[in-house]
Structure 1
Amino acid sequence: MREPRTSRWQAASRLSRLTAVLTLGASALLSVAGPVHAAPAEDPLPVDIPDYQAALDTVRSIDTRNAVCRFLTVPVPAGGSDAVHTIPEKTNPCEGMPAFTIKDPLAVSEITPGFVAGTSQPIATEAIKLTRLVSSLSTTVNDRQATVMLAPTQGGGWHLAAVREGDGDVALAGKAVAGALVFTEPQIRGWYQLKLITVEPLNDQAREGLGGRSAMSLSEYQKLVKARYADKMPASEYDTKGMSSGYGPAKEAKSASSATTPLVGASGAALVLAGGAFFLLRRRRDTIG
């Protein structure tokens, strides 16, 4: 039996009205949520980075480029603590270097102290906080890669915090699939992605941190990190007795006084440029699971 033409028209009309309602509803949600910056090509997930234009301006600035060139001028310290390298003074630090650009920055988030202590709920907005941005070079320079790290500036904006050897952090920061959020457990250099309320490891350290499991709920993960670090927070006995720096960013090494200060190398050490001065930190090789 042929379907009456009027019923097809009515169905089409209902579908049209439903489409309009869904479109208006999506527009309303976007207007409430506020604008989200367009993610760079290597970033699979649009992340709301505050003052993103300031971050772009920082990574594209002459000062940041010169800092990277100075970093790449000095070989990675190696061969023991008596290996010394000086940073040559050059009017143009990038003179003679292959052409390169610095990619758009990616967001790096960390678990929050409240989440670790168990005082915050196991939900994304309370468990994870944006802490820094990372960028890598568009190409290797003299067979080396480097990571540019930006830190938030008090009062708004971003500033150059460090230049580090390798690009492992950038590669991991860009691993999240659509709809997921990448975050770190910095104490073990574990990288994870959060899909709704499910935590999945992205590297070997994270897999070890989850006890070999391929995934677990965010509430289960909170119990793990609470057991690992809750008694090691800042001002805890563990911290005040000097057994550890406690939970939180590692304390910075004493800065050099000038750009020509000698840099003493050590086995497995890395050269780090931070705040315009050079720091010598123990190198942790960038590994990707």
Structure 2
Amino acid sequence: MSRRVLVLAVLTGAALLMTAPVSGAAQAAGISSADAFAAHSAAAELQDVLARFFAQAPGAGEPVSVQIAPDAYPVYELSPDFVAGRPGAAPGEFAYFAIPARASDGRTATLWSVRGDDGSWQIGNIASGDVEGEYARKLPAGAQLLHEPQVDAWYAVRDGRVTPLSDTNAAATDTAVTNAAVTVAGYQRTVEARYADKLPGSVYARDGEAGGYDATSQVMPRGDGGPAPSGHDTGWVPLLILAGVLAVSGAGYVLHLRRNPA
């Protein structure tokens, strides 16, 4: 193999690693494997914070150790543009990566890793339970995990259809959504009927009525989740991935030269 071809292969491989999508649904929202890695790295720094979280939670007993799962599940929240019926709007907007954690006594929690204004990933909340993980593991390949927070309902969105995943969907008023999959257009009509008069800027929202649709509160505490820990800048993580790829590939190139001198 010529030096030029080998160098080109190294750079191409690094570029592919940096841009590899998590899934088809995630790629459509601009979320890549590098984002998932950076989001997870922000969570991996919080072992001590998680231990305190479990120690302070109701029912806490002996001190526990904590294990953070290797998964980072992209979670989407119902889009106000979709509710309003704007052309081209997708049902959900990316909200956070859900990263499950488990204590040695069996209790679970979920870290919500969010992207800051500067592009770095940081932990926005720690919530009790493994809700997102339970539903994400039920998703068909290529489906998007959608949360409708006002009724705490969870859906799989794929191929133009919205399929209920949670028992809490029974609390919704539309049986077409609670009992079976519907088209995206059908789901839009349902949520428009529920929330069109409660969108940001509506009289309902201006009056501060409970249950209004607040597009600014995508990441909110759940269960016994405490205050969000201080953020950690993880914007450098993708660069480390690239550096690692180049270092390993460079070592291979040196070995190639030693075995095959010009």
Deviation at 1:171, TM superposition (A): 1.2
Q: Distance in 1 between matches of 2:157 and 2:66?
A: 37
Give the match for residue 180 of structure 1. 143
Pick from 188, 204, 208 the counterpart of residue 238 of structure 1.
Answer: 204
Q: Distance in 2 between matches of 1:269 and 1:46?
A: 28
Q: Distance in 1 between matches of 2:144 and 2:218?
A: 27
Give the match for residue 157 of structure 2. 194
Pick from 227, 242, 252 the counterpart of residue 273 of structure 1.
Answer: 227
1:120 is the counterpart of 2:51: no
Deviation at 1:163, TM superposition (A): 0.9
> 1:47 aligns to what SS in structure 2?
helix
Alignment size in residue pairs: 204
1:77-226 counterparts in 2 under 5 A?
97-98=64-65, 100-121=67-88, 126-137=90-101, 139-209=102-172, 210-211=174-175, 212-226=178-192
With over 3 angstroms needed to count, the CA separation of the structure-2 counterparts of 1:128 and 1:99, relative to structure 1, is closer
Paired letter, 1:127: P
Q: Distance in 2 between matches of 1:38 and 1:231?
A: 35
- The structure with the larger Rg is 1
TM-score computed with the length of structure 1 as normaliser: 0.62
Q: Distance in 2 between matches of 1:46 and 1:173?
A: 13
**What whole-Å deviation, never above 9, does each CA across 1:57-80 have from its counterpart, x for those lacking one?**
21222xx21211110111328xxx
Deviation at 1:195, TM superposition (A): 2.2
Q: Distance in 2 between matches of 1:191 and 1:172?
A: 8
1:65 is the counterpart of 2:47: yes
Q: Distance in 1 between matches of 2:112 and 2:191?
A: 25
Structure 2: where are the runs of 5+ without partners?
1-14, 232-262
Q: Which moved more, 1:203-212 or 1:128-137?
A: 203-212
With over 3 angstroms needed to count, the CA separation of the structure-2 counterparts of 1:241 and 1:143, relative to structure 1, is same
Q: Which moved more, 1:202-211 or 1:113-122?
A: 202-211
Q: Distance in 1 between matches of 2:25 and 2:223?
A: 34
Deviation at 1:120, TM superposition (A): 3.2
Q: Provide the alpha-carbon RMSD of the alignment.
A: 3.1
TM-score computed with the length of structure 2 as normaliser: 0.68
Paired letter, 1:131: A
Paired letter, 2:165: L
Deviation at 1:251, TM superposition (A): 8.9
1:7-86 counterparts in 2 under 5 A?
35-37=19-21, 47-48=26-27, 49-50=31-32, 51-61=35-45, 64-76=46-58
> 2:224 aligns to what SS in structure 1?
strand
Deviation at 1:208, TM superposition (A): 4.5
Deviation at 1:119, TM superposition (A): 1.5
| Identity in percent | 26
The structure in which a higher percent of residues are helix is: 2
Deviation at 1:121, TM superposition (A): 3.2
Deviation at 1:56, TM superposition (A): 2.5
Q: Distance in 2 between matches of 1:251 and 1:109?
A: 9
Deviation at 1:244, TM superposition (A): 3.0
